[in-house]
Amino acid sequence: MKGITVDSESRVVATHYAIVYSPRRSRGRFAETCVEIVASEYDALEQADPEKKYYAAKVIGPSKSSEGQRIFYLDDWL
């Protein structure tokens, strides 16, 4: 994702494979409650259910928003 630098030595903000609930795939960030971290790209693809709006993705986070919520940023849809 442009504009976000991930420190490879930090364990706070990192890149993860995930299942993301999203009514519209046009969004670039998601509340923590919409993101389920999984172990691998394979797991994300296996657990995705586009009919129910659960998509496999690579995300960056968690990060704290200006509103105080923990959010994840979309790196890429899988």
- Whole-model pTM? 0.82
Q: What is the pLDDT of residue 63?
A: 86
Domain coordinates of the chain in residue numbers?
Answer: 14-77
Decide which of 45 and 1 is more confident.
45
pLDDT digits (tens, 9 = 90+) for 14-36: 899 999 999 988 889 999 999 99
Which CA distances in Å does 24 have to 6, 28, 63, 64, 68? 26, 10, 21, 22, 23
